[in-house]
Chains A and B, each alone.
Chain A
Amino acid sequence: MQEGVVLEMRGICKYFPGVRALQNVDFVLREGEIHALMGENGAGKSTLIKCLTGVYAKDEGDIYMAGQEKAVTIRSPQDAQNAGISTVYQEITLCPNLTVAENLYIGRSKGFGTSWKRMNAGAKKILTSLGIPASPKQQLGTCSIAVQQMVAIARAVDMECKVLILDEPTSSLDEQEVEKLFGLMRDLKAKGVGIIFVTHFLDQVYEVCDRITVLRDGQLVGEYVIEDLPRVQLVSKMLGKELDEMADIKSEVGAAADASGEVVLEAQGLCSNAGIKPFDFSVRKGEVNGFTGLLGSGRSECVRAIFGADHVTGGTVKVEGKPAHIRKPLDAMKKGIGYLPEDRKGDGIVGELSVRENIILALQVMKGFFRPFTRAQAEAFADEYIKLLEIKTASADTPIKSLSGGNQQKVILARWLLTDPKYLILDEPTRGIDIGTKIEIQKLVLKLAAEGKSVTFISSEIDEMLRTCSRLIVMRDRKTVGELTGEDLTQAKIMATIAGGEAQ
């Protein structure tokens, strides 16, 4: 092993039934570097990490750690921890019902006794040294997601890890929180920790990383120093094709429809028990509009109120000019509204059910309890949309939970497209999915609009909103604070509106 290398993986292979998830992948991590692991969904990033952390057993290949001659054997996450490899996953894997201090020390005590006093004092020290705004005795569940994420990192750091794996740590953080996290990462880097950073956000890669390893279809594409790999090249390496598509998809599909179409849905003074201030909203035929604002500004709550997903407490809604009483999701569905929820795992997929059942679910519910689709009908629907959206799945019978995130999202999209909605609400449809699928989804949105459907599109990435939406509703502190169209649709203008008073 070379000098300064903390971790080396050589010739890693992993097979799943019918799938070669990893083929002969090499990966080298040096001391004090932040190393991005990039690739589309299904490229094998997670599989590689799971092989490293002992969640999966690798089928072939060796893992070497600094200071050890022989290859290390990692059979369980516990082994990985002992070898100095710590992981922080996208989803918080701590216990929300325990205190922060307990979470920091859980599973690490020697023997049976616990000195609560010493534990809390130790926790306090770690938290202050890393600048994490939480108190040791606070229940973890009461902290924001960002703080929980940082506690997870603090736990990993405190275990004196040599290798820290951050698997999509930023997908649920807002900008300031991300900055804080990056500060923490740079500190750790200075201390000589090797960090593997998995993310879909290109900006973030170029902000903190030193090196990039790109995977595609389970194979290693290459390892690059960040300066040598401009963004466009990175994307084309991930996709395996030269990419002009990034340029301007709006012009390609045709600009979103003019604003003179008839009003499809109009809401006045709508509010729900999720704590949003009453808001007015309308969407026209063939229009793509969007809610923007910081995380927690009430974007999702607005669309949930429109769909009847939260308990609606006031306001009137008109669908195509006629008053509509939308009190529960089925009411909205019957009016031709579809809703792709923000939390794909919690609200979207029905994990153990097959891709086919997941696709037909909404339409089936609309059709009614006593009128199930025949097997042949269901298969026809599923095959049609698997082909149309290019869903990568072994078969229509595969449980949806074994698909990659982007493909799960496509299945949910298929579910709503199948109902042929007049108005489709997409809440963060591109979160946590790869750039290729992202562009596909954006294109699809514009295509739907061109076909005369209305779409509301919510995304944390302003870029994406600018590319798809012709009108943006800006939210701050759970109320609408502005509406931008036409010339005003620029990054700067949106930022200023989001910031509001402070910026003026």
Chain B
Amino acid sequence: MTAPVKDPVKKVESARESFFKRLTRQQLFIPLAALVLLVLFNLIADPSFFAVSIKENSLGNPVLSGNIISVLDNASELVILSIGMTLVTASSGGQDISVGAAMAIAGSVILRLVCGGQVNADTMHMNLFLALFIAIVVSMLFGAFNGTLVAYFKIQPMVATLILYTAGRSIAAWINNNELPIMNDISFKYAGTFLPGIPVPTPIFVTLFVILLFWLALKFTNLGLYTQSVGINASSARLNGLNPQFIKLLTYMILGACVAVAGFLRVSRSGSINYSRIAENIEMDAILAVALGGNALGGGKFNIYGSVLGAYVIQFLTTTLYKYDVASTALPAYKAVVVILLVVLSAPVVREKLTRVKGRTPAKAAKEVS
């Protein structure tokens, strides 16, 4: 119980809130700080990390090349997934662990459609956009399956999506009769590599487009308010005329659409698919991105830009580790160490303690940040 203050004490109190304190309370503080640290580390260790050059790719086109480009490029699938995952987390207070398997399904559907059932196709048998559209529909149906289990049967999200997590890759293989179709048409790979004459990898544009779509959706619809209300207090949301079940279902379907786009990008990078390896463990990175972005995994309030930033941080970290020749088998262990640090730092308990300690020496603290 607190009473608002009408006397000058208020000013004194708010002045106590240092710049640093206000900064650290920002949701985006941790992912931004992590990004800054990674950048600093690379700047000091080897500034050439940030070098961007123009090289010729295998087709003889001049394209941008460099670590930064590869971070932005390779993070694309993760960024797109983490946006959908944020919504699912917010509305249902749980995560979808089937996104990797569902990406395999989406990729498989697209390859099946464009290859027309052939194992080794040289021309596309279907318009690429139509194939993508069908994959999105299929993926949203699988999302609806997950969403129905969660929203209407009230199964814990992780358990509900465990079903598709287990079955997804088999379904993906079944769609192509267990064959591994290969698409040789160059234009199929435009989306995953480069468009002719454009030196920036296409996935970067696709990701920007998806982010833009969600920015528009959050601005011009009530997606944000509804999902958060349902995630925070479903019972209250219902009494305010919302349909909590449907909104949960909707978020799973939106994630389904994200999965399809991510799956599409992944298969169009190589024009082929490996059912058991494609997008392996990506669900864990997507969940991590949501957490890194300062979103509560228990649902409720969310910030998709936090997740987007989180996803880029994860990719930045991976690329940095590769750069320093960390063996690919040892990579997860290094990653885990960094992740532990980031997650512990972003835990509310620690943040509260930190702000309390640092708040007393604002000048010094501000220096540490910059």
Contact = CB atoms under 8 A, between A and B. Distances in A.
Nearest to B218: A372
A309 B239 contact: yes
B222 A364 contact: yes
B228 interface: yes
A217 interface: yes
A16 interface: yes
Contacts of A232: none
Interface in B203-243: 219-223, 225-226, 228-229, 232-233, 235-243
B222 A19 contact: no
A391 B274 CA distance: 60
A350 B236 contact: yes
Given A17-B13, A309-B239, A372-B220, A361 B229 contact: yes
Contacts of A47: 1-2
A21 B1 contact: yes
B235 A346 contact: yes
B17 interface: yes
A346 B9 CA distance: 35
Interface residues of A, number: 49
Interface stretch (A291-299, A351-359, A482-490, A491-499): A351-359
A330 B14 contact: no
B301 interface: yes
Nearest to B7: A20
Interface string A342-368: 000011111111000100011011101
A122 interface: no
A46 B241 contact: no
B233 to A, nearest CB: 5
A160 B243 CA distance: 49
Contacts of B238: 309, 329
Given A41-B1, A44-B3, 12 more contacts: A15-B13, A17-B13, A18-B4, A19-B3, A47-B1, A346-B235, A350-B229, A350-B233, A352-B300, A362-B240, A370-B221, A393-B4
What 8 A-B pairs are tightest by C-beta distance, nearest first?
Answer: A330-B241, A365-B241, A46-B1, A19-B2, A42-B3, A21-B2, A217-B3, A362-B240
Contacts of B51: none
B240 A361 contact: yes
A240 B221 CA distance: 46
A17 B225 contact: no
Contact of A349 (B17, B226, B233): B233
Contact of B236 (A15, A18, A347, A394): A347
Contacts of B13: 15, 17-20
Contact of B228 (A18, A329, A353): A353
Interface in A313-348: 328-330, 333, 339, 341, 346-348
B84 to A, nearest CB: 18
- Chain B residues touching A, majority SS: helix
Interface in B232-281: 232-233, 235-243
A429 interface: no
21 contacts: A16-B2, A17-B14, A17-B17, A18-B4, A19-B2, A19-B3, A19-B10, A19-B13, A44-B1, A328-B241, A330-B241, A346-B233, A347-B239, A348-B239, A352-B232, A352-B301, A357-B229, A364-B222, A392-B3, A392-B4, A402-B2
Contacts of A285: none
A158 B228 CA distance: 43
B224 to A, nearest CB: 9
B5 interface: yes
Nearest to A354: B301
A68 B1 CA distance: 30
A17 B355 CA distance: 13
A366 B235 contact: no
Contact of A218 (B3, B233, B235): B3
Nearest to A23: B9
A371 B226 CA distance: 12
Interface size class of B (residues with CB under 8 A): 20 to 34
B232 A353 contact: yes
Nearest to B237: A350
B239 A341 contact: yes
A117 B240 CA distance: 49
A264 to B, nearest CB: 19
Contact of B241 (A20, A329, A352): A329
Interface in B1-47: 1-5, 9-10, 13-14, 16-17
B236 A370 contact: no
A369 B221 contact: yes
A353 B229 contact: yes
A195 B59 CA distance: 84
A476 interface: no
A391 to B, nearest CB: 10
Contact of B225 (A43, A357, A393, A415): A357
A44 B4 CA distance: 11
B240 A365 contact: yes
A237 interface: no
A404 interface: yes
Contacts of A309: 238-239
Given A329-B238, A365-B242, A372-B221, A43 B228 contact: no
A410 interface: no
Interface centre among B221, B228, B241, B242 (most CB of A within 10 A): B241
B225 A20 contact: no
A351 B232 CA distance: 7
B38 to A, nearest CB: 30
B2 A404 contact: yes
A45 interface: yes
Contacts of B232: 350-353
A404 B4 CA distance: 11
Nearest to B4: A392
Given A333-B241, A372-B222, A372-B225, A346 B1 contact: no
